[in-house]
Amino acid sequence: MDKNRKVEISVKDLTVSFRTTQGMVRAVRGVSFDLYKGETLAIVGESGSGKSVSSRAIIGILAGNAVIDKGHIIYEDQDLTKIPEEEFHKIRGNKIGMIFQDPLSSLNPIMRIGKQITEGMIINGKRLKNRYKALIHDEKMKIINAKLAIQELQRQYEMNEDPQTQMSKETFKQKVQEIKAQMPAYHKALRAKSVIAKKQVKAEYQAQKEKTQKAINELQPKFKSAQESAANSKLGIQKAVQETKSVYQKELLDLKTAYAGVTEKEKRVEFMTKQKSLKASYNEKLKEARAPYTQAKANLKSARAAIQHEKEMLRRFVKVTKKEAYERAIQVMTEVGIPEPKKRFKMYPFQFSGGMRQRIVIAIALTADPEVLICDEPTTALDVTIQAQILDLIKKLKDERGLSVIFITHDLGVVANVSDRVAVMYAGKIVEYGTSDEIFYNPRHPYTWALLSSMPDLNSSDRLTAIQGTPPNMLFPPKGDAFAERNPYAMEIDFKEEPPIFKINDNHYAATWLLHPDAPKVDIPQLIQDRIKRMEDKSKEMMKHAK
Amino acid sequence: MPNSKNVILEVKNLSQHFKTGVGKNKIYNKAVDDVSFKVYEGEVFSLVGESGCGKTTTGRTIIQLYQPTEGEVIFKGVRVAAGFRELKLKRKELVKEGNLEEVKKIDEEIRARKEDNKKNNFELMKKMQMIFQDPIASLNPRMTVKEIIAEGLRIAGERKEDVIIKHVNEALETVGLLPEHATRYPHEFSGGQRQRIGIARALVVNPDFIIADEPISALDVSIQAQVINLLNDLREQKGITIMFIAHDLSVVKYFSNRIGVMYFGKLVELADKEELFKNPLHPYTLSLQSSIPQPDPRYEKIRPPKIKYDPRQHDYSVDKPTLKEVTPGHFVYCNDKEFEVYKKKVAQNTKNA
């Protein structure tokens, strides 16, 4: 594969099972893929093929009964399957964001939109506290790792029933004791460090506070003088205002007496216009008279605002304030294309349409500036027109922010639109992966064929070939190729042995025995060949038009 | 393709308004507003549009799950549903004027319509059946598959148990299920099988006309094809007319003969599928077509930009729009000015072709 590009997330041989009363359900059985920086990887498959489960494993939100049997998810040199929950808080949402399938059920119906968007920012935004936690992080991790090591030992001891390699009870106990012996030292170090860290953070805060106080002190005289001048000018203008008022009243009275008792329409109109102009000129004069006061008031306001700003900055040093979160929320909402974000901020989810709700969900994911975005069927619950808008939005955001996207869907039309590379999943395994061009123009796995041919095409009315049967029950994963039972091209070996992944070219791999050199040659089904030909003709034509 | 030009269902100026609020806050939600179309025998007629545009309401009104506000539904030449709000308003005015003879006539008309709405004609009404959108919610979880399917037969008056079992087994076989499935409960089936049960329930009374309300949008890709193929077989083997309600244009194009496009309670365009895809006239149809995702990555990279539809682009302040026939069989909702523009456009297109 492309070795020059940076790998963002690398999933290696991931295996996830769910503990149920009937037994272990093997949802994901050895999935490996790399997500490169700035690309979109689409995972396609039927429901129950394990595509959602693998993405949830990446972000660490598997259900309680899920077990990661083996495998690694490497992100920034860390194994996400191993790190403790505390560590995960830093990654989930902040580094890897997720958009869920149903925008209606992923938003809280009795909470205003604004609160839902700012919630995460405010909860995660306790800056001083985070600083303190970061300072004592190393010491804390030592303790947690020691605990994990003991657990791991125990698991190894219990799981391994082979008498030859099994460690004896003594060695196990000894090893545990060794680790446990170091614990008091770790705890002591943590206590010592936390005292230091507390002091340090406090000192930092004090320094900032003093700085702010100094700035405020500098601003204070200006504020005081502004206050004074405002008070003075208020007294100063009173006389002038009074004068203009009395002049106006006199003039008005004169006018009224001059036109008293007049009933002719023309004269009345004349009176009205005169009265109006009189009022207008009075307002003008009043404004003039008040001008010094208004000026002083504005000065006072700006001086007060400057002090407020300093105070706000101090508060922002401690945590993400509501104001800061509001500003950020409005910014993100504008980015995802919500009109009138200030008004929308105060609304409830039911007041939004489906597309708008999905935009809100995307906005929530974007507030933390993630580098990787996992979209779990973001358009399945939406209409065609809205779907097109959301897809365009995701593509735009990806280009603007340089996001890497994992896009999970079962709609192949959507896949062609958004993805750079495609992985087709079936029964917990990736059966074919490659660039989207390769997958759509040169599909090799019978399951990909079946998926493609069960989709209605705009330009033909051939009979669709439905996939016979249903996906296998993952309580009892089938021996051999999982798709063999539904596969018209299945050979004997498919029922006996699992196919390895065959390389077709540098950008295209598939797991099917049909690619084995000894296998009989099977062509791509006629239906798909026809369609590919049509697609090629069409895109050629389009190219001509574009030129 | 439709074998004949026999009209099986005719909808005339159908309106369905929902009332919400009381007194000052009373609001009429015009879910379906003045919609007329005909469905011919043996064809598949599709209604498409975004969610909330009234396509499901149209279907449910036709089969009388709602009482229409205005307009008539004529099935096999018999009026099966009719609304009379306008008549009532007229009657009020006439009473004010004191024109008692006219009032009597209107009273009779209203009485006749009410009588039609009572669904007395079981034999006729059971020829019209519906398949619902959500295969999970539309099947009663406490009834066995046999009971679910037999319910329609029992309502239609069948009492003999052996006849019922025979019919149920036949229906199950038609949709590709086994007779032993009859004793199971809906939760024991997968999504595609549940939708088949829904179809079997509709088929058991030998209908001539089926309203399929988004039968595949809740299903998986591979299972969608099974259901579409099944519906296709039914049409070919039994000659059942299908009214297909969907929002996925590629499925609709694949499956139907004629397509009606709905937008906010109005039927904005109605044509043969070839004609509709060749000469889309109404701007909403254009925007719908431009947003169909294609399973072709090369095309997707160079595809023309999607068109956004803004209903404010029409100026209907003076000239009120109606459904007009631009070319034979191709109707567009427009006013006179737009009508001329559309006509020119069609002429241009045919010239280019």
Q: Angle of helix B221-238 relative to helix B191-203, nearest 10 degrees?
A: 20
Q: Do B253 and A458 touch (CB under 8 A)?
A: yes
Q: Does B340 touch chain A (CB under 8 A)?
A: no
Query: Which residues have CB under 8 Å from B82's CB, separation 6+?
Result: B68, B71, B72, B73, B113, B116, B117
**B301: closest chain A residue by CA:** A417
Helix (H, G, I), strand (E, B) or coil at B259: strand
Condensed to tens digits (0 to 9), the pLDDT of residues A511-526 reads 988 888 888 888 888 8
Predicted pLDDT at B2: 45
pLDDT at A25 over 90: no
Q: Quick one: A273 exposed, middle or buried, by C-beta within 10 A (0-12, 13-18, 19+)? A: exposed
Q: Does B249 touch chain A (CB under 8 A)?
A: yes
Instruction: Find out whether B79 and B116 touch, Cβ atoms under 8 Å.
Output: yes
Q: Does B178 touch chain A (CB under 8 A)?
A: no
Predicted pLDDT at B1: 45
pLDDT at A159 over 80: no
Distance of CA A227 to the CA centre of its chain: 47
**Residue B295 with chain A: CB contacts under 8 Å:** 412-413, 415-416, 440, 452, 455, 457, 535
Rounded Cα gap, residues A399 and A232, in angstroms: 58
Predicted pLDDT at A280: 92
Q: Does B287 touch chain A (CB under 8 A)?
A: yes
Predicted pLDDT at A1: 47
Q: Do A466 and B293 touch (CB under 8 A)?
A: no
pLDDT at A541 over 50: yes
Closest CB from A383, A417, A452 relative to B51: A383
Predicted pLDDT at A492: 85
**Residue B253 with chain A: CB contacts under 8 Å:** 456, 458
Of A146-155, A379-388, A430-439, B241-250, the poorest mean pLDDT is in A379-388
Predicted pLDDT at A374: 93
Condensed to tens digits (0 to 9), the pLDDT of residues A398-435 reads 998 889 999 998 888 888 888 899 999 998 899 999 99
The average pLDDT across A12-27 equals: 88
Q: What is the enclosing helix (H) or strand (E) of B46?
A: strand B44-48
**A442: closest chain B residue by CA:** B296
**Residue A388 with chain B: CB contacts under 8 Å:** 290-291, 293, 306
**Residue B50 with chain A: CB contacts under 8 Å:** 383-386
Closest CB from A410, A451, A542 relative to B299: A542
**A470: closest chain B residue by CA:** B190
Higher pLDDT, B220 or A25: A25
* B81 to A535, B30, B95: CA distances (angstroms): 47, 18, 26
Closest CB from A454, A458, A536 relative to B250: A458
Supply the mean pLDDT for chain A. 87
**Residue A454 with chain B: CB contacts under 8 Å:** 221-222, 224-225
**Residue B228 with chain A: CB contacts under 8 Å:** 456, 464
**Residue A437 with chain B: CB contacts under 8 Å:** 297-298
**Residue B220 with chain A: CB contacts under 8 Å:** 46-47, 410
Predicted pLDDT at A547: 61
pLDDT, tens digit only, all 353 positions of chain B: 444 578 899 999 999 988 888 888 888 888 898 899 999 988 999 999 887 788 888 999 998 888 899 899 999 888 888 888 888 888 888 888 888 888 888 889 888 888 888 867 778 888 899 998 888 888 999 999 999 999 988 988 888 999 999 999 999 988 888 888 888 898 888 777 888 899 999 989 889 999 998 888 777 777 788 888 888 888 888 889 999 998 888 888 888 899 999 988 889 999 998 888 888 889 998 888 888 887 788 877 777 777 888 888 888 888 888 888 888 888 999 888 888 888 888 888 888 87
**Nearest alpha carbon to residue B303 among B311, B313, B295:** B295
pLDDT at A36 over 80: yes
Predicted pLDDT at B101: 86
Phi, psi dihedrals of residue A35, rounded to the nearest 5°: -110, 120
Q: Do B302 and A388 touch (CB under 8 A)?
A: no
**B294: closest chain A residue by CA:** A413
**A379: closest chain B residue by CA:** B293
Predicted pLDDT at A169: 82
Q: In what order do the strands lie in the sheet with A404-409?
A: A96-99, A372-376, A404-409, A40-44, A421-426, A429-435, A508-510, A502-505
**Residue B229 with chain A: CB contacts under 8 Å:** 463-464, 466
The average pLDDT across A273-287 equals: 90
Pull the structure tokens for residue B290: 């431009």
Radius of gyration of chain B (CA): 22
ipTM for the predicted complex: 0.78
Q: Quick one: A110 exposed, middle or buried, by C-beta within 10 A (0-12, 13-18, 19+)? A: exposed
Query: Which residues have CB under 8 Å from A268's CB, separation 6+?
Result: A259, A262
The average pLDDT across A82-102 equals: 85
Alpha helices in chain B (DSSP H): 55-62, 85-97, 100-117, 122-125, 145-155, 161-174, 191-203, 221-238, 249-255, 273-278, 283-290, 297-302, 336-352
Select from A539, A541, A545, A547 the residue whose CB has the most chain B CBs within 10 Å, as the one to mutate to test that interface.
A539
Closest CB from A354, A384, A467 relative to B291: A384
**Nearest alpha carbon to residue A143 among A81, A199, A193:** A193
Q: Quick one: A308 exposed, middle or buried, by C-beta within 10 A (0-12, 13-18, 19+)? A: exposed
**B51: closest chain A residue by CA:** A383
pTM, full prediction: 0.79
Q: Do A454 and B251 touch (CB under 8 A)?
A: no
Per the document, the length of chain A is 547
pLDDT at A108 over 70: yes
Closest CB from B229, B248, B288 relative to A464: B229
